[in-house]
A and B are shown apart, each in its own frame.
Chain A
Amino acid sequence: MTENSSPSGIKTALERYAALVQRFTPKSKLGQGCLRAFWVGGSICLLGQCIADAGSAWLGLPSAAASTFASIVLVFFTALLTGVGVFDRLARYAGAGTVVPITGFANAVVSPAMEFKAEGWVLGTGARLFTIAGPVLVYGISASVAVGILYYFIRW
């Protein structure tokens, strides 16, 4: 291939191919994806609020405890739906709508727990439990610590 003989020639050939790939690769449907994420994600958040309000009204929980109660219930049902193999189908439809609320986090922990059980409780489930959620925990907690320290000194 003579066009590839010089370093700049290689770059043009790769760039030309990248353009060809882009031309033939179908795009994700952004509008449809946003709409589905919005209504499913919004419904999950609404459900969470209803659970929290119900906790306050019927169980007499103070507001902080009612929020925790809502999280616990949502995590439980996500874990259950993941376990019976339904959640991934819902997520395939909703995308970010199920990933962003706490349901996404619960699914990210339960699915590897199930998947890697074949390798045993210690080296399978135990070691691989946070394969997906791990980075979120590491950087989420690190960021909150950093912001906490900043807040301690600045206190705006």
Chain B
Amino acid sequence: MIVKNDHKKIISPRILIYLMLTIGGITMVFPFIWMLSTSFKSSLEVLSAQISLIPERKKYIQVDGELEQVEFSVARELQKTLSIKEGKIIETFSRALPAQSRFKSDISNKFSLFRVRLEKYFHRFQSRAEISAALHKFGEDTVGKLPSLPSVRELPVNFRRQLRFELGDLGKQLEAVVTETTDSKDRLRVVILAGDKRGEGATVPLDEIIFKRFLWNNFKKAWQAAPFARYFINSIFISILVTIGQVVTSALAAYAFARMRFRFKEFLFLVLLATMMIPKQVILIPDYAIISWLGWVNTYYALIVPFIAAVFGIYFMRQHFETLPQDLFDAASIDGCGSFRTLFLIVLPISKSVILTVALFTFIMTWNSLLWPLVMTNTPEMRPLQVGLAVFNQESGTDWELLMAASTFSIMPLMIIFFIAQKQFIEGITRSGMKG
């Protein structure tokens, strides 16, 4: 009766509840979607300040530092024009430039950009539509027919407009300097300069790398930008050893505290509980001193040994062991099992879920810790993933597509574990109340 009544009253707030929860839920999840979507974009699209979840077919050009979009068809047209091997382009370029040009000296210098220069007269244009049209027209001409003109730099600067096209993968960009010449009012010249953002030469044919939608290559680039493989191996190695160590030491100690009688038991357990109150930052410096004294700085020892025992695990397991029925132990004793065998053959097998919870949380805590390994390591080959990522964050400041790609593959392992062991996870948290 009452329930039915209730149902009627609530029906309109219900929609409100769902609405609020949905908005909230999207807010929580959106940063992840944004991360994933950014990691597939090109560096210019990243700068475009547009919310596009799926990388767009529209491509961006930079006009005097501001980004504008061009239609995909125009991009195609450009692609057609440039479907030549890079070696050929450099050649064209070298021929077309006057001897004193700075771009030319750049070619001879391996560290610098190489640039393509194609020249063509166009009619004056005012709007973006006109730019598009001009570029279309541009596409119809071939490279060979280019007239030789003075270098861009010799022209009056106030008429120069800069466009920047992207070439998709490999951080390549196509720069077009659209220059209005002074000799004739309605004539424009387009000089297109293709160069690698980081100044590395590449031998990939241009038409293969222009205008892909999803830039999977970002992941490869991010993976190679820092020794992430090593970071992963370190993290896995450290986390697994710490987890095994902690489960073993916790099981032993918890078993003793739960099932054995000995002097000072209560006192020792109290000491153990008291250490839970010690904040990590208090012991960081003396531990650093101890570890430097042991000569362990920048070794696996410093990252593993201090963590192979923790009060949390002992406490958690003890609670469980205490709930086991006494009959079990009596039976084992009658069968002639020593306490060690009882622990391993009887207690542990029936405590799988507790052990799993402790292991899961130890693994996650170790995997996620930053401050300790940051302080204790100082070379790339010893860094675990989180520290490597933090260093990458500082070193590659604004390469957002790479940072997001790196964040994505760093987040993935734990996400997968979470979705596999969701139940264990949530149960463990509600029972133990762990945070951070």
A and B from one complex:
no
